[in-house]
Structures are given as structure tokens and as C-alpha cells.
């Protein structure tokens, strides 16, 4: 059964040179719709969104290609990406009307498969460690040459010299501004958050990590198991301190037992990591507060209390 909108079905047919034979709905996350399509080239995934933010899928494709180039983690291959576009549709009376092709992304479909969970965890942890060890921004700065998205929220990435500066100006303050706009900070919440933001340089003063390529949104919903190999999806990449990647992973859990131990064995975290971890978890917590609402404030408050704010 075809679940693709007709205009999207036609656009994908033109790109592939063959019409999809079937389309099976897939979980597309909180933002997009997705389907597995059967084609002469094998199964593929189409993600689409009729109201996508400009460049949303282009940012995702760019992130996946950067991860692929790093050579440590497996990601789906990208076949096509397009922002929303209008095209004329002929009508029976000879007139034409304009229809909108939604933004879409076409990529490789990889089967989720069971496998030895201990071996999967070991290989996954070691692969992420290898990526963090072997990728450094060419200019030695923190950030990226383009902005992108985390979920449906903008993620500014303009380069900064130091990690504390980048984390304060490109991660915490933009989320604080969004929270204010959405009315998420009644009472003294803004003042407390700003007090903590003012401590960023002090708390992160001893961080010595080089800017490495981060997935940027690595939680349990953004990887799948295919045998004993991890497949990562939906990145929000930039060059940053690896501690924030591990802090995010440990924030909500859902990773296989032995994953952290495998990472630590391959690329040990500094002893001060645990002191900095709550601050590094503040960015994903503010993102979740801004995306999902009040249920995430208690965890934000725990971070504030941890640092006396």
C-alpha cells in the first residue's frame, strides 16, 4: 500500500528512475513522517515533512555525511534530499494549479537485527571513542561552518575559540532565549539560570578536550542495532567537547550494558568529568524543556541546585 503523498511519490520516482512498489509506515520521530519503500535498488527510507523548517533535511544529510567521512560509526547512505518546492499540476480543463512537494530525504534502509548484546555494546562504545579520538576541526575551533537543528529547534554553531565560550554562547544562551519566548521561565527561573551561565568559565576551566566531531543528539532513539553493529541516525553534528556527548548519553539511559565501560577502556574520560557532567546535561535538558514542556523543569532545577543556583 502506498502511504506517500502523490506529489512526493512522483518526486521520488523521478529521482530514482523507478516508482516505489510499496511504502510501509515507519516511526519518524516527533517531527517527520517516514516510510520504508520497496524499489528495484532494494529497500529505502523516505522521510518527509510538509511544514519542515528550511534546510532541516539538508542539515540532517550533511551531518550523516560528516559522520560517514569520519569512518568510525555506520550511518545510512543518502540518496536524495530536497526542501519543499512548488510545481505546476495540469487540470482537466487545461488550466494548472500549483502543488507543494514536501521537504524530503531518501536514504538507505538498514534492517534492525538482533545480535550478541555484549559484543554490540563493546563495538559501539569503541567506535564512538574512535570517532572522538580521530576527528578534530581543521581550524582548531569549536563549532561548525553552518548552523543546523536539534530536533525542531535551531542550533547555532558559529566558531568559538574555547569550549566554555562556545557552550555558553552557542548552547545555553540560545536555549535560555527560547525558553523565555515560550514562557518556560516564570518566577526566578531566569535569574537562577543566568547565575549558572555566569559560572560556565569557572566550572569548565580545567576542560582540555580538543574539538572533536560529535553526533550531537545521541540518545537511545537515535541508534539501532543491526546484528553486532550500531547504526546512528538523526544527528545534530558539530565540533565540541566529547564530555557533552557522554553526559547526554548518561542523562536518559537506554544504552546497552557495557557501552560506557567499552568507551572508557578505549578512551578514558578525565576524572573531573563527573564534576562537569551536570552542567553538560543542562543543554539537552533545556532543549527538552523547550520542546516538551514543564515535565523537564525538575531535572533542570537539580542541575541548578548542584551548582548552588
Contacts of 268 (CB under 8 A, 6+ apart): none
State the pairing for strand pair 33-39/42-49. Answer: antiparallel
Give residue 158's pLDDT.
98
Domain parsing of the chain, residue ranges? 6-108, 117-306
Angle at 246 between CA 244 and CA 248, to 5 degrees: 70
What pLDDT score was predicted for residue 116? 96
Any idea what DSSP says for residue 28? -
Q: What topology does CATH give the domain 6-108?
A: Phosphorylase Kinase; domain 1 (3.30.200)
Return the sign of the alpha-carbon dihedral for residues 109, 113, 115, 118: positive
What integer pLDDT is reported at residue 91 of this predicted model?
47
Name residue, grid cell 516505489.
Answer: 20
Query: What was the pLDDT predicted at 96?
Result: 55
pTM over 0.75: yes
Provide the pLDDT for residue 213: 98
Task: Give the pLDDT score at 22.
Answer: 82
Which residues, given as ranges, of the chain have pLDDT below 50? 1, 91
Identified catalytic residue from 198, 206, 217, 241:
217
pLDDT in tens, 208-234: 889 999 999 999 999 999 999 999 999
CA 141 to CA 160: how far, in whole Å?
6
Calpha distance 115→129 (Å, rounded): 21
User: 251-285: b or e for each residue (b if 16 or more CB lie within 10 Å)?
Assistant: beeebbebbbebbeebbebeeebeebbbbbbbbbb
93 is catalytic: no
Q: Which fold has domain 117-306?
A: Aminoglycoside 3'-phosphotransferase; Chain: A, domain 2 (3.90.1200)
Amino acid at each position: 500500500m502506498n502511504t506517500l503523498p502523490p506529489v512526493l511519490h512522483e518526486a521520488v520516482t523521478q529521482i530514482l528512475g523507478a516508482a516505489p512498489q510499496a511504502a510501509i509506515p515507519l516511526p519518524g520521530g516527533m517531527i517527520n513522517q517516514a516510510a520504508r519503500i520497496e524499489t528495484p535498488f532494494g529497500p529505502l527510507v523516505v522521510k518527509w515533512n510538509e511544514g519542515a523548517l528550511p534546510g532541516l533535511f539538508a542539515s540532517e544529510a550533511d551531518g550523516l555525511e560528516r559522520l560517514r567521512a569520519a569512518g568510525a560509526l555506520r550511518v545510512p547512505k543518502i540518496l536524495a534530499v530536497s526542501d519543499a518546492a512548488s510545481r505546476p499540476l495540469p487540470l482537466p480543463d487545461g488550466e494548472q494549479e500549483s502543488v507543494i512537494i514536501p521537504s524530503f530525504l531518501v536514504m538507505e534502509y538498514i534492517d534492525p537485527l538482533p545480535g550478541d548484546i555484549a559484543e554490540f555494546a563493546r563495538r559501539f562504545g569503541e567506535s564512538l571513542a574512535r570517532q572522538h579520538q580521530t576527528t578534530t576541526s581543521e581550524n582548531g575551533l569549536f563549532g561548525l561552518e553552518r548552523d543546523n537543528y536539534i530536533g525542531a529547534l535551531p542550533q547555532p554553531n558559529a566558531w568559538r575559540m574555547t569550549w566554555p565560550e562556545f557552550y555558553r554562547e552557542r548552547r545555553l544562551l540560545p536555549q535560555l532565549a527560547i525558553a523565555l519566548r515560550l514562557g518556560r521561565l516564570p518566577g526566578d527561573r531566569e535569574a537562577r539560570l543566568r547565575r549558572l551561565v555566569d559560572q560556565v568559565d569557572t566550572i569548565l576551566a580545567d576542560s582540555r578536550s580538543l574539538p572533536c566531531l560529535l553526533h550531537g543528539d545521541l540518545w537511545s532513539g537515535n541508534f539501532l542495532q543491526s546484528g553486532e553493529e550500531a547504526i546512528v541516525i538523526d544527528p545534530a553534528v558539530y565540533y565540541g567537547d566529547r564530555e557533552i556527548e557522554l553526559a547526554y548519553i548518561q542523562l536518559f539511559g537506554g544504552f546497552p550494558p557495557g557501552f560506557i565501560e567499552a568507551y572508557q577502556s578505549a578512551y578514558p574520560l578525565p576524572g573531573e568529568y563527573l564534576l562537569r557532567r551536570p552542567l553538560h546535561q543542562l543543554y539537552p535538558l533545556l532543549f527538552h524543556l523547550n520542546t516538551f514542556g514543564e515535565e523537564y523543569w525538575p531535572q533542570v532545577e537539580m542541575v541548578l541546585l548542584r551548582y548552588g543556583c
